[in-house]
Chains A and B, each alone.
Chain A
Amino acid sequence: MEVKQANLKDGATPRPTFSIFRDLLFLLPFVIFVVAFLILPTISIFISAFQDPSGKFTLQNIKDLFTPYIMNAYLLSIKVSLFTAVFGALIGFMLAYASTFGNLPSWVKSYLNTFSGVASNFAGVPLAFAFISTLGRVGLLTALIQQIFHVSIYDLGFNLYSFWGLCLTYLYFQIPLMVLLMTPALEGMKKEWREGAENLGATPSQYWLKIGLPILFPTIIANTVLLFGNAFGAYATAYALTGGFLNLVPIIIGAEIRGDILHNVGLGYALALGMIVIMGITILSYNYLQSKTARWLK
C-alpha cells in the first residue's frame, strides 16, 4: 500500500518535543527572581551569622545569642506568639463551629467569613491605631470605663503597650485567620460520619469526642502552628503599638537595621537566623500535620 505523506511540511517529521532544557528555560525568570531576592538574602544572613566583623568564620555570634537580653527577647516573642496562637485558635474555632453547626441563620456565617477576610488582613499600623484609640491612655473605652466606674484601667494594672495589650491586639487578626482556616475543614466533615455514628447508637457528644474532634485534631493543631508563625514574624503592629519599646525579636532586628544597637552586626544576623530556624520548624510541622489529615481524607 502506498502511504501518502501529509501535505504540511511538519507532518513528515515527529512533533517537536521540547527538551527538558527548553522547559526549564521557561522557568528562568522565576528562578532568577527567587534566587536573587529570596534565596541569596537568606543565605547571606546564614553566612553572616557565622562571620566576625573582619569576615572570618566564628561561632561567637551564635554563642552571644545565649545571653539574658537576647534570650528574653526570644522568650517574649514566643510567649506572645504562643498565647495569641492558642487563644486565637480556640476562639476562632468556636466561632467557626458556631457558624457552621450552630443552627444559626445562614447570614451569620457569610457575614462572619466576609468580616474575617477583612480583619485578618487589617493589621500593622492602622490596627495599632484602632487599639490605641480604644484602649490607649486616652482611648474611648478607657475613658468610658473611667466615667462609669470612676477608676482607670491603667491604675488597675492594664497597659495597652505591654504584653497583654499586644496579645489583645494580635488576637484581632489571629482569630479571624483561624476562622478562615477552620471553616472549610468543618464544612468538609461528612454528614454520613455523623449519621453513621448516630446509627450505631452514638450520642452527639460521643460523635464529637470519638470521631469529629479526632478527625479535626491535626488540622486544629496545624492551624494553631500557623497562627504561631503569623504572630512570631509580625513587626509592623508591634512597632506601631509599642513604638519599639517591647523587647521582641523582630523589634530588635529592626532597631539593629536602623543603627547598630547591639554593637555587633554579626549578632543581628544570628538573631535573624534564629527567627528563620523557628519559622522553618513551624512551617515544616504545619505541612506535616496537614499532610496527615490529607492522607486520611483522601
Chain B
Amino acid sequence: MGFVELIDVKKYFGKDNPVPAVTNFNLSVEKGEFVSLLGPSGCGKTTTLRMIAGFETPTEGKIIIDGVDVTYLPPNKRNVGMVFQSYALFPNMTVFDNIAFGLRVKKKSEDEIKKRVEEMLNLIHMTEFRTRYPHQLSGGQQQRVALARALAIYPEVLLLDEPLSALDAKIRVELRSEIRAIQQKLRITTIYVTHDQEEALTMSDRVVVMNKGAIEQVGTPQEIYNNPRTQFVASFVGTLNFLEARVVEKSNGILEVGSQKFSIGRALSEFASDKVTVAIRPERLRIVPDETCTNSFDTVVTRITFMGAIVRIHVKIGDALVACDTFNNPKLELPEIGDKIRVYFSKEDVLVLSA
C-alpha cells in the first residue's frame, strides 16, 4: 500500500445539477515519491490536490495518508504542506514570521521555532531576507518563502498547485530544479499540479496525465513521452505528427502512407480496421540518416521555421504535412522551400494508434 492513497475518488460540484470535476480517481503515491498531475486547465488536477489538502471533500471515495483515512479531516488537522500558485504569503508578516506561522500555531517553543526557521531559510538560500515583507520580494523569492513555510511544519506530504506559473520563464526553470533538489534532499512525498508538460517531465518520478476529470495515463516521464497510451496523452505531451495510414500486411506490420510503404517491425494484430493513425515525434524524423533508420519517406519541403537550438522543417508526404526537427548547426546545409528531400526514421519511432 502506498503512502498516499486515493481510492475511487469522485467529486461533483453543485447541488441541483451536479457537474463532475473528478471521476474514478485511483492513485497510489509511494513515500518520498514526486508525482505530477498534468493536464489542461479544468481537467480536475487542482480539485484533486485540494481534496488531498482538505479544502474540498470528495463526493465519493477515500483519501488515505500514511494509513490514516483523512477523507473528512479538516485541513488544519492534516499534516500536509501546500504551496499556492499566487504564493499566498501573509502580507502583514515578515519572511521569518511567515515561515514560523505553522510552528507558532502548533505552540512550539520559540527556540525550536527559531532553529527550524533558520534551517528553512538556509534551505532556500534566503537567510538575509528574514526581516523583509512579502511586498519587498520578487515573485520567485516569494514562492521560495512559500515553499519554506509549507516545509517548516514537517509535513507528511508536500502539495504544490501550479507554483511556477505566475513567474517569468527564466526563474521558472531555475526554481524547477531548486524545488526538485530540495524534494530529493528531504525525501518528502510530493504531489505537484501543473499544466506545463516540460515541468512535469523534468521534475517528476511519475506523471499522471489527466483529462476531463479522469486519469489518462500514469507512468514515468519516459513512458509518458515515448509510449503514450492514448491519443490525448500523445498530443498533450510533446509535439507529434499524426499520419493516416493504411494497413498493407497485418502480420508483418507493413503500412502505407500515400503510396509509400514502411515497416514497423511487429504484427498489428490488435487493430481490426485496415486504417490506423500513426504518430511520430518531429525529432525522430531525420534529414540525415543514421544506422537505426530502417524507413524513409520522399517529401517536399513546404516551410522552414528557425526556433533557436532547433530548426523545424515542414515537409509534405503525399497530402499529409509533417514537421521534422534538426539541431541548429551552422555547418549543416538546410534545404530550401520546394526541395525534394528524403526523411528517415526507425521502426521503433512509430507509434500506432487506433484510427
Contact = CB atoms under 8 A, between A and B. Distances in A.
Direct contact of A and B (CB under 8 A): yes
B259 to A, nearest CB: 52
B55 interface: yes
Contacts of A198: 54-55, 74-76
B135 A298 contact: yes
Given A195-B82, A200-B101, A210-B101, A296 B153 contact: no
Nearest to A199: B82
B133 A296 contact: yes
22 contacts: A190-B88, A192-B88, A193-B88, A193-B90, A195-B75, A196-B82, A196-B88, A196-B146, A197-B76, A198-B75, A198-B76, A199-B75, A200-B150, A201-B79, A201-B153, A202-B105, A210-B104, A211-B90, A211-B93, A296-B91, A296-B133, A298-B135
Closest 4 CB pairs of A and B: A200-B102, A192-B88, A296-B91, A196-B88
Contacts, number: 78
Interface residues of A, number: 21
Interface in A183-229: 190, 192-193, 195-203, 206, 210-211, 214-215
Contacts of B79: 201
B170 to A, nearest CB: 23
A206 B106 CA distance: 11
A199 B92 contact: no
Interface of B: 53-55, 74-77, 79-82, 84, 86-93, 101-102, 104-106, 133-135, 146, 149-150, 153
A210 B92 CA distance: 9
Residue among A196, A200, A206 with max Cβ neighbours from chain B (10 Å): A200
Contacts of B84: 192, 195-196
Nearest to B79: A201
B105 A200 contact: yes
Interface of A: 190, 192-193, 195-203, 206, 210-211, 214-215, 295-298
Given A201-B153, A211-B90, A298-B135, A195 B101 contact: no
B284 to A, nearest CB: 42
Contacts of B104: 210
B309 to A, nearest CB: 36
Contacts of B87: 192
A206 to B, nearest CB: 6
Given A214-B92, A215-B92, A206 B105 contact: yes
